[in-house]
Every structure is written in structure tokens, then in C-alpha cells.
Amino acid sequence: MELKKDSNAVSIDMLLIVHSEKRRAAHGTHSDRQADPGALPQRRGGLQGVGNGIRRWQKFEGNNVHGNLAEKQHPQQTQVITSYDNQGTQLTVEVHPRDAMPQLLKKFSLAKRLQGDKNGNTRPRQPGAKDAHVYPWDRSSLKSMPLDLQEFEKLDTYASQVTVKSGLDELVSDLLQEAHSDLERVRVIWIWICHHIEYDIEAAQEKDRQAFKPTDILRTQKTNCDGYAGLFEKMCRIAGVQCMTVPGYSKGFGYQTGQSFSGEFDHAWNAVYLEGRWHLLDSTWGSGLVDSATSKFTFLYNEFYFLTHPALFIEDHFPDNKNWQLLKPPQSLKQFENNMYHKSEFYNKGMLSAHPETSVIKTVNGKATVTVESCAPTLFMFMLNGKQEHGLLSLRKNGMKLDIYPPTVGTHKLQIFAKGKSDIYSSVLEYTLKCNYVDIGVRLPAELHQPVGPSWFSEQMGIMKPSHPDPIIHTSDGRCSVSFGVEEGISVLASLHGDEGPITEETQRRYIFQTQREKRAELKVQLPQAGKFALKIFVKKRLEPGNYVFVFNYLLCCTNTKVNWPMFPESFGNWGQDNELLEPLSGVLPANRNVPFKLKLHGIAKALVKGQDTWPLTLNREGYWEGSCNTAGCQEVYVMVLENANHNFYSYILKYKVNAQ
């Protein structure tokens, strides 16, 4: 064999000697898999090896092309031998009867065309320097070529509705009816496979299974990753588009953060040649996902894995041949194992980067910090060991910051979720936290929900210009006042939550006294004891039915052990949010005392305080209702108002308790 090389092509002069079946038999029949050096090794995970000099024997049977060795080839049947060198170069040789038309030419003529170079060579060009993209990702696009996905809408709808009538050739022919470029040909094949072929979990778990034939895949509409990749390659070749199957390691179903890879490859995907460059895609992962709890497959189309930018594809796909990374510089297996794994939803939801960039984080003084940058305001949440506890997550205009405090020494699992434009939170990041120290003084309330502190989201919900922009409020005497602007037509509700003390569901709002003047609300807070508390803020539109919606919370911190504030007085429905209470603020009054009252009440005719006796309140020049009452012989004291001077019906607006004598 003589090879002649130039910069653009390789020409081969070769003498091929073919012996008849009878002559081969005379020398002994060694055509079984174990004897044939070209038989494909079957790997666990179903991945076919294509590497150093491995040959594939293919037998054409109608529309079926599969990778099994034909143990007994009839002399009149065409045989095809495909060989690869260690650089991935492919050589295909046909052995066919003298007068028969070469089968490959038949296949190529059935398709509209097969791309070739300027010398007419039809073998796929191997990836080179012009195919490589710069690593790390330059944030320019999720795709390896400019795409307007809206232009695919009609094409996608058409492709997803095409049904199998007979064989693979007819299916591809039907799909190509609406495809007018190589890109569109690849797109319709991709869409059809992603919407019709189900991942066969049982077959994927078999150790020594047979390769999936395209005819079997079409019949059962099930396969494993090898079958997805093989079917995609076959359909592309029928459509006249250069395509290769790429085996390698993946961070897919069953992947554990920080694990190492060795031995057999566990996955396969494809490379397609479009507009002078190679591009990567994975129809297995584009079709749906496997639930780790039930091990069941669900169709859930994922656009991310179509012509993915190589600098993003390498995060969960490591090919057997580094050239198929399509990167400069290429990544080592060690880098692949250690690099942070951003799930596809990380990019689908508009994330750009995350720090730390390693999957394993060691806490410093019992604390770890994670930040995420996004291209637009995004809602986040987290779970530490499956619970939404032990962290402070604050939203930023373009991202978030999370301070996490593991409750125990050891290894912990941290998951971060993002909402994006949909109503569903999706897992976008996973970290392994290693904690060797716990700061007991930083223990957070279990009821501290996410997010903490005001943000773009609270502003979007009608809360603006807060008096405390930071999520943590420190108070030395156990009291604080928080205020913020409120949009017209918005009602605000607040509650206080702590892990210790007598706070119950009934009293959660009694340590907060809320007033509203003009378009600004004020929350006066008194803590029942020292400690950490979650001050939760809820809103709803007044004219709309439904419940209040949680917006954010503050973390209130007090270390003064002498703090022991009582609850505020209980307010009733007729207490308007624009009313103001100056005194008494304590909901528990001393016994046998004269207690002064001072309130600002709007739209009333008369006001009084009722205990053992009744004491009227008078309106002063500043617009406050003033007066006093004596608590002798009382257990409870009420503030009552008359809204209409023509009526005699008084309404309760405030209730106080009196200490036992």
C-alpha cells in the first residue's frame, strides 16, 4: 500500500486480494467473534470502541446497517470493511460481485449528496485547528455556530410529527421534504430522534448486550446511547451529511461529584460537519432524562445539546480522542474530573459563571461562600443535605450570593437551583462541602427561608426603598424598626420566627406592630429574648383573592441576654394600616396603674378605652387621640372607635392584657 499526502487530501494505492468462500474454508473457518481480530468489543454501557486500528465489518441488508461481524457471508452479498487508525482516520472498502453496483454508491445516490472535499474525497475530514474553539468559554453563545432557534419552529413541528412508515431510508426521505440545507437536514434528524426514541434503561445496564440495529430501534423506539449515536450517524449519512460517532466518558446518570473515570467508556455522541467545521451534539441527552429515584426515563427535550459550544460540551463529555474536544487547548482527563460541572440547566436558565470553580469546597471557619453570575435577574434556592437550611441566600441584579454554614463536621451535599423564565426550579449546580469546624454561634433559625434581604424581586413585588438594604439586622436592645415604600394597591404582612422561646403560630405576628403612612410601611419589632430570628415579609394585591405571597426575610440578631420584650397589643380588622400607635406599645399593661394612650386614627367620630370602666379619648391639635385609663380590677383593656357619629355601635381595634395583681 502506498500513501501520498498533501495538505488537503490523502490518496491511497492499494492491492486488495479477496479469496473465495471455498478457499477460505480450506484454510479453516475462523469467522466467529473470538477468532476475528476485527470484531467489535462490547463494553458495559453498550459503547462500541472505535480506536486504534479497530475494524468494523458491516453487512448491508435492505435498509439495515449494523456493526456485527457477518459470520457467514454469501459470495454474492456485499461486504464492507471500515478501518480507523489511531488518529481517527477512516478507510472503507467494499467487496462486491463483479457486475454489481457498489452499495455505498447506491446509498449515496439515494441521498441528495454526500459532502466531499475539492478533490472529490467522500471520507469525513478529521478535526483540525480550524474546528477548535478557545477554552475557556468566551460567553458569546451556547452554540458552536450562529443559530436563530425561532427560524426552526415550523421545521421542528414538522419533524416531530413525521412517523415511521417502513424503513430508515423512507423515514429520512420524509424528514428531508422540508429541509433545504445541511443544517436543516441535521436539525430534522435531531428533532425526530429526540421526540421519538426512548432511552432503554434496562438495555443500558446490561453488560454483554448486542449492538442495536437501526431497524430494531425504529420498531421498538428504544435504545441506549450507542443506539442513539449510531442511528443519528446512519440517518445523517443517508441524508448526505458527514457525521461521526464519538465515544468517551460522561457526567450523566449516576455521576457523583468529584468522581474519577477509568476503564470502559460509558457514553457515545455525535459530531456533524456543517459549513466547513465540525460541531458536537448528543441526541441521548437531548431527548429526556432519567429520574435518579425511580430509574424511569421521561421525554423532556433539551435544546442545550444541539450544536453545543465545545467549551461547554467538555464539562460533561470527554471523548476518547482529544481532537474531538474541538478545543484549544484541549483538556486532560484530570482536568475533566476536577472541573466544576455546570448542568445544562445552568446555561439554559441564563447562568454565566459560578465560584468556586471546583466541585469540592472546604469551609473556612465553618463557612463556605458560593456566587453565581447570570445574564438576567434570576430566582435561586439551595438545599444542604436535602433541606433548605443553614444558609443565607441573597439575590443580586445579575446573580446571587450564598453563605452556607454546615451544622456538623464532615462531608455535605450542596445543591443550587434556579428558576429562570419558567415556574419550575431546576438543579443547576452541585457541590461537595468538606467541613472541619462548626461555629455554634452562627446557627441560623430553621424558619429562615430564601431569599434573605430586599432585592430586585421584592421591588418587583411592590416593596421599594427599604430602610435596611442588608439582609442582617443587629439590635443591642432587642428592638428595631424597618420601613419601606409600598406600591399602590399592595398589602403587607409580617411575622417573626425563632427556634427558642414561647413564639407560636398565634403570636408570630404579635411581636411586630405594623403601621403605614402615605405610601410607606413601618414594622416595629420587639424580640422576646436574645437570639436569631427570621422576620418574614409577605405581600398580596388588595383587590385580588388568594393568600399572601412570601417575598423575603431579614435575619434579626440580638446577643443581649437581658432582652425580654412583651408582645404588642392585638389588633383587629378595623385597625387600619394607616393608623399609628404611639403608646402604650406593650401588649401587657401593669395592674393598678394609670396608663396613658396616644394614637392617630383616621376616619372616626369618637374613640374610647374600655376596662373596668370607660375612658374617652380626645382629639388634640396635632391630630392624635389622647387620654388615659386605670387598670385596677381589669384583666383586659380594649381601644374602641365609633366610625359614624349617627350610630351608637363601637368597634374593637386594639386589645391589651393586664398583668395579674
**Cα gap 526→508, rounded to integer Å:** 11
Q: 3-state class of 149 per DSSP?
A: helix
**Cα gap 498→45, rounded to integer Å:** 51
**Cα gap 370→361, rounded to integer Å:** 9
Residue 398 DSSP symbol: T
- Return the residue matching grid coordinates 415604600: 485
Catalytic residue among 225, 236, 558, 629: 225
Question: Nearest Cα to 549, choosing from 537, 535, 534?
Answer: 537
Q: Please confirm, yes or no, whether 226 is among the known catalytic residues.
A: no
**Cα gap 465→540, rounded to integer Å:** 18
**Cα gap 359→433, rounded to integer Å:** 9
CB atoms closer than 10 angstroms to residue 416: 25
Catalytic residue among 266, 282, 316, 403: 282
CA dihedral angle for residue 647, residue 648, residue 654, residue 660, rounded to 10 degrees: 180
**Cα gap 104→481, rounded to integer Å:** 81
Q: Please confirm, yes or no, whether 267 is among the known catalytic residues.
A: yes
Beta strands in 410-489 (DSSP E): 410-418, 426-435, 463-464, 472-474, 479-486
Beta strands in 132-290 (DSSP E): 133-134, 198-199, 222-223, 243-250, 267-274, 277-281, 288-290
Question: Nearest Cα to 284, choosing from 315, 320, 253?
Answer: 253
Q: Please confirm, yes or no, whether 225 is among the known catalytic residues.
A: yes
Catalytic residue among 196, 267, 390, 412: 267
**Cα gap 383→247, rounded to integer Å:** 34
Within 8 A by CB and 6+ apart from 1, the residues are 12, 13, 14, 15
Question: Nearest Cα to 242, choosing from 317, 303, 185?
Answer: 185
Q: Which residues are tagged catalytic?
A: 225, 267, 282
